[in-house]
Chains A and B, each alone.
Chain A
Amino acid sequence: MAQEEVIIACKNLQKVYDMGETKTHALCDASCEIRRGEFVSIMGPSGSGKSTLMHVLSLLERPTGGSYLFRGKDALIFDDEELARIRNQEIGFVFQSFNLLSRVSVLENVELPLLYDFYSDDTASDKKTFLGRLLGSTGKKERVKKALADVDMLHRIDFMPHQLSGGEKQRVAIARALVNNPDVIFADEPTGNLDSKSGTQVLRILQHLHKKGHTIILVTHEHATAEHAERILRISDGCIVSDEKVSQRRFADDVVLVK
């Protein structure tokens, strides 16, 4: 297999929270490399630093030490504009609590990242005509539909979030993360708020997306959830204690999706 592009390369990452009298080392000497197309779990108990690691890797927080190359570029010197572009174009987020806008439809929720897409060609071409600017293009709508189809939620496109179950909400949230076709999807405890059946569905979708070539980084404290990935980074007390391939990978495929 040809070597894929390294998306995330970090060395000796440190994150120290300075609380005046006490200094908390949330991350010490974390190093890792994640390539395009990988499905990696970051696993550890609460307080282990896995969330901090995810925040740093997803460019939400700056580390206090170490180096981090995101797609070969020094991530520690990105300015606000560049960070906004990367969050829009290269990173997708899936949150534990879904974070759908409750007062707008599924369509508009998934469309949200496209509203801030000032970069890609088909949306840029929208800006050329006034009507395109006013209405958004059909191209945009196609992208929303495709993302919803990828998570088997196309039939709910005109629903409001309160009409959806927890698992469906999370699938919509995944569609939203997908819609700009990012290089990497960060999922922060995506099954934490779901019953096991809905959780399995979400994991199945993540596995499907992975199969289609998406890079996925899953943060979880559950062993069983983590084993849906190809590779697990175990973290404890701010240090990566192990980095190994999953020998007996779980597949969520045998569960039939309930529509």
Chain B
Amino acid sequence: MIRQLLLSLRITWQNFFAAKLRTSLTVLGIVIGIAAILIVMSIGASAQDLILGQIRAVGSNLIGILPGASEDDGPPASAFGIVITTLTNDDLEALRKKSNVPHAVAISGYVTGNAIVKSKNYTKSQTFQGVSADMINVENNTISTGRFFSVAEDEKNAHVAVLGATIAKDIFDDADPLGKKIKIDDQTFRVVGVLKPKGSSLISNFDEMIYIPLQAAQKNLLGIDHLNFIRLRVDSEEHMVQTEKDVDALLRSRHDIPDDENGDYSIRNMASALSIINNVTNIMKYFLAAVAAVSLIVGGIGVMNIMFIALSQRIREIGLRKAVGARKRDIVTQFLFESMTIACVGGIVGFLSGLGVVYFVGYVARVQGYTWTVFLSWNMVVMALITSAILGFFFGIYPAWKASKISPMEALRYE
């Protein structure tokens, strides 16, 4: 049986080698299909990991409080740029009380604005953020030189600023920024610290941000007394749910909102954000993979085509096999074996080319400075082979059945 298959495989092989170009073109469909699925799945997983990794870098035990009500999972109105003033400094103070929210370890209010930032050789419109002194603990940032501003500085409306790594370099080049003055909308701020580079994330670009005390930003630059949002860090992930409840209860009573109504604020946590992003990217990934799978069908049809060519080239051979005692199922087995082998070879070639692309993309991404992990596993190889074999089988059935119908009389036909 095995010898029988090996012999026929050799004949197939030689036939296909005799028509290398045609064979490779028809197998190309499977090659591209397998490669495309591998690329989409692997690069998709890497990109997903990159995004989620950035969010995790911020910390998954963060709770965000945004002004304005929202649907359960949708973004609150404030995310669309609508100004809602329901979240105030008093809310922030109340949340900061340990008795109200016992598991919060750090908490900060945020206001964001744009202003013309001037220095000696620098004039540019920049985004700045007014934050509490605790912000550095909320966001897990670290200081590279100098210090972050203190609670006292925040409270007494001090004009000090902490710069992100990139913007510090933009403004001061290689000079030491500590103690230097910058002007934000013509108000002078003294630089007291520079943050370590953290990289951009979906949430904000820490490296290009200018941080100033919340009070100074609200009163002197923006002229507002509400907050854009509040973020608080919870001591551990187990206390996330409890803390959300605490925050909700506190704000509900402060804003006089009955229990059966939606609040005029929204509470978001990183964990749910993570799972939403995970779901969305998964859908993208599988959708793209499904599109790529279409080319597998084209590839399968290619295999069917090549088996029909093999069939017409080998009518006499099959007739002869029948004449010396091959049964229908022997011919079917032979043809299925051949089509599955061809498909698997296509699958292996596709897998290897996909692998090449995946590693190349990974290399480029790392050169660009992303923390890029290449995701590959053994079951991907197995899946590629099984998929190819199934394709070869499925699209080989009809040619094999046709081949088994060839009469031994064909061997007698004289050319």
A interface residue numbers (CB < 8 A to B): 51, 55, 60-61, 80-81, 84-85, 87-89, 93, 95-97, 99, 101, 103-104, 108, 112-113, 115-117, 127, 133-136, 176, 180, 188-189, 192
Contact = CB atoms under 8 A, between A and B. Distances in A.
A115 B3 contact: yes
A93 B11 contact: no
A60 B415 contact: no
B414 A97 contact: yes
B411 A112 contact: no
Interface string B304-329: 00000000000011001111111110
Contacts of A103: 10-11, 14-15
B7 A60 contact: no
B321 to A, nearest CB: 7
A133 B1 CA distance: 7
Given A80-B327, A81-B327, A101-B11, A116 B321 contact: yes
Nearest to A115: B4
Contacts of A113: 324-325
Interface in B373-415: 407-409, 411-412, 414-415
Given A95-B411, A115-B3, A133-B2, A101 B320 contact: yes
B411 A93 contact: yes
Contacts of B324: 87-88, 93, 112-113, 116, 176
Nearest to B408: A60
A60 B2 contact: no
A188 B413 CA distance: 10
A87 B409 contact: no
* Closest 5 A/B residue pairs (Cβ): A88-B325, A116-B325, A113-B324, A115-B4, A84-B327
Contacts of B322: 84, 87
Contacts of B325: 84-85, 87-89, 113, 116-117, 180
Contacts of B246: none
Nearest to A55: B409
B139 interface: no
B317 to A, nearest CB: 6
Nearest to A97: B414
B330 interface: yes
Given A80-B327, A112-B324, A116-B326, A99 B4 contact: no
Contacts of A80: 327-328
Nearest to A88: B325
Interface residues on B, range: 20 to 34
Interface of B: 1-4, 7, 10-11, 14-15, 316-317, 320-328, 330, 407-409, 411-412, 414-415
Contacts of B2: 133-134
B11 A116 contact: no
A108 B7 contact: yes
Contacts of A95: 411-412, 414
A104 B11 contact: yes
B328 A116 contact: no
Given A108-B7, A116-B4, A116-B321, A99 B327 contact: no
Contacts of A136: 3
B30 to A, nearest CB: 25
Contacts of B328: 80, 84
Contact of A87 (B4, B15, B323, B412): B323
Nearest to A90: B325
Contacts of B316: 99
Nearest to A112: B324
Contacts of A93: 323-324, 411-412
Nearest to A84: B327
B326 to A, nearest CB: 5
Contacts of B4: 115-116
Contacts of B408: 60, 87
A181 B241 CA distance: 85
A108 B3 CA distance: 10
Contacts of B3: 115, 133-136
Nearest to A189: B414
B402 to A, nearest CB: 16
A136 B411 CA distance: 26
B109 to A, nearest CB: 76
B323 to A, nearest CB: 5
Contacts of B11: 101, 103-104
